[in-house]
Amino acid sequence: MILFIHRKDLRTHDLPALDAIFASGLPSLHILVLDPFLLRNGRGREHSGRNFLAHAGRLQRLYTKHGRRLHVLYGEPAAVVSRIADAHPIREIVWHEDHTPYALTRDRELRQLAAERGIPATAYDEAALADLRDFVRWSGREDPYKVFTPFYKRWSAYVTERFKPASTRSVAELETAELHSDVRDGFRLPPELGAQLQHDDPADSGDEPDPMQALESFLDERLAGYADGRDRFAREDTSRISRHLNVGALSIREVYERLMEAPIGIEPWLRQLAWRDFYLYQSRLDPDFFRYEQVFDLSPLGDTHFRAWAEGRTGIPIIDAAMTELNETGWMPNRLRMITAMFLTKNLGCPFPYGERYFRYKLSDYDNVLNRGGWLWCASLGFDAAPYFRVMNPATQSETHDPSGAYIRRWLPHLAGRSDKEIHKPLPEAIVDLKASRAQAIETYKLILKSESARPAGDDLDAGADRPWRD
């Protein structure tokens, strides 16, 4: 029997692990482990946790619809797998890779546990649109691309030439096994998590996520106007597929195949999908990606204004409106993520990990790699980041992308009576002066960028991990 562990791949088709199980002809035991570490500090009740749990519940229902079994368990992943291996004749363990530091450590432990028991363990990479390992070999680059435009050129050529179509195999074609009752009883979900999965939690809207519907309605109704509309944050012109894509409820290969059928407007949106791959690529190839706060000295920064920012009390209307939308709904349009992140890191002089951590809880489409990539960009750190002297003016941005102030009026109704011209301007009680704080930020970040310290020899995130990126 093969043990398949679901991760950020919450769907029932187009998964390399399912293809491998099918090819083996063996029955399989399918589990999803809700890890207390990842749900700590009430994360399960925040927008990001709720999105994951809503999709986990949906996945379980999809299995049932196909007449198959998915076992959702609660516990420390290695302990769960160890108990399963005691109770079932496991011949192989398979899963899909994730490249965050936590995931790498967790999977290293899993491999060790499997090796001790003589069980082969195989991880498949399916997160990116391009097969990133193959892309690295094919592009023939010793050093990774550090700038998006040349990456995009090469990536586009690769995808045109070597795109691997979505697999049509589904879980319905496999023979899934029951779980031994000892394991089920040992790792039962706490009642509140069980309720969230079943949608009978009062805090849950009860809406069944529908990833394909989100994609289809975007492609049919808004793709053609995407290039013009994507930064007009008062409208809802982007796809909003991120909350489905990041938990794997949508397959990126299916997204691409559907996009290629569109009559017009393909390129601008494909470019955004390439940004997603660019950050996934960096997370694998830039050993500093998850540790820039250790590479640069951020001590000239502080957290004085962090709370006011998080609670939407800065007195800068567009910032407060965007943070209100985020806090209430779990959503914030991309342009506003850039504006609020740059405002926090530059004008308010707060270290980027504070904002990154806040978004981790609040964004329903939270993704460890894309979120970090966005925050690094705004804080002028990492590959192809905004230059240190780039400090967006939130009031000007608001005026440019939403001249009538419709967005501010929607989220801050107490300002609705202001004129179109006045509505964007800082309030008298604003916590910073935009001009003075911009000048200060430029000086501070100039200093920070000079503080780069070399990584100590041997201190490589790749060390010991299963990451044959440089072979």
Ligand X SMILES: Cc1cc2nc3c(=O)[nH]c(=O)nc-3n(C[C@H](O)[C@H](O)[C@H](O)COP(=O)(O)OP(=O)(O)OC[C@H]3O[C@@H](n4cnc5c(N)ncnc54)[C@H](O)[C@@H]3O)c2cc1C
User: Which residues here bind ligand X, judged by CB under 6 A?
Assistant: 230, 238-242, 245-246, 272-273, 275-276, 279, 334, 337-338, 341, 359, 363, 365-367, 370-371, 374-375, 378
Strands 2-6 and 92-96: parallel
Q: Closest separation between CB of residue 238 and ligand X, Å?
A: 3
Cα dihedral angle (193, 196, 198, 200), rounded to 10 degrees? 120
Q: Closest separation between CB of residue 4 and ligand X, Å?
A: 25
Contacts of 243 (CB under 8 A, 6+ apart): 51, 209, 330, 364, 365
Residue among 106 and 244 whose Cβ is closer to ligand X: 244
Residue among 4 and 269 whose Cβ is closer to ligand X: 269
Q: Closest separation between CB of residue 224 and ligand X, Å?
A: 13
Residue among 45 and 240 whose Cβ is closer to ligand X: 240
Q: Closest separation between CB of residue 428 and ligand X, Å?
A: 28
Sheet holding 28-34, edge to edge: 71-74, 28-34, 2-6, 92-96, 121-124
Residue among 151 and 366 whose Cβ is closer to ligand X: 366
Q: Closest separation between CB of residue 342 and ligand X, Å?
A: 8
d(CA 386, CA 244): 28
Nearest to 110 by CA among 119, 10, 437, 380: 119
Residue among 9 and 92 whose Cβ is closer to ligand X: 9
Secondary-structure breakdown of the chain: helix, strand, coil percentages, each rounded to the nearest 5: 50, 5, 40
Residue among 94 and 370 whose Cβ is closer to ligand X: 370
Residue among 28 and 51 whose Cβ is closer to ligand X: 51
d(CA 276, CA 286): 15
Residue among 92 and 356 whose Cβ is closer to ligand X: 356
d(CA 401, CA 232): 5
Return contacts of 459-463, CB within 8 angstroms, 24+ apart: 460/287, 461/101, 461/104, 461/287, 461/289, 461/290, 461/291, 462/287
SS3 category, 33: strand
Q: Closest separation between CB of residue 149 and ligand X, Å?
A: 15
Residue among 4 and 352 whose Cβ is closer to ligand X: 352
Q: Closest separation between CB of residue 30 and ligand X, Å?
A: 26
**CB of 169 within 8 A of CB of 22?**
yes
The size of the chain, in residues, is 471
Contacts of 364 (CB under 8 A, 6+ apart): 47, 48, 50, 51, 243, 329, 330, 331
124 phi/psi in degrees, rounded to 5: -110, 150
Q: Closest separation between CB of residue 377 and ligand X, Å?
A: 6
Residue among 177 and 379 whose Cβ is closer to ligand X: 379
Measured at CB, which residue is nearest to ligand X? 374
Q: Closest separation between CB of residue 234 and ligand X, Å?
A: 14
Residue among 51 and 196 whose Cβ is closer to ligand X: 51
Q: Closest separation between CB of residue 422 and ligand X, Å?
A: 27
Q: Closest separation between CB of residue 217 and ligand X, Å?
A: 12
Contacts of 351 (CB under 8 A, 6+ apart): 293, 298, 301, 303, 345
- Phi/psi region, residue 236 (left: phi>0; alpha: psi -120 to 50; beta: rest), is beta
**CB of 66 within 8 A of CB of 172?**
yes
DSSP string, 285-337: H-TTTT-HHHHS--TT---TTHHHHHTT-SS-HHHHHHHHHHHHHS---HHHH
Q: Closest separation between CB of residue 148 and ligand X, Å?
A: 10
Rg (CA), the chain: 23
Q: Which DSSP helix (H) or strand (E) runs through 137?
A: helix 132-139
Residue among 133 and 240 whose Cβ is closer to ligand X: 240
Q: Distances from the Cα of 168 to the Cαs of 7, 72, 129, in angstroms? A: 20, 24, 16
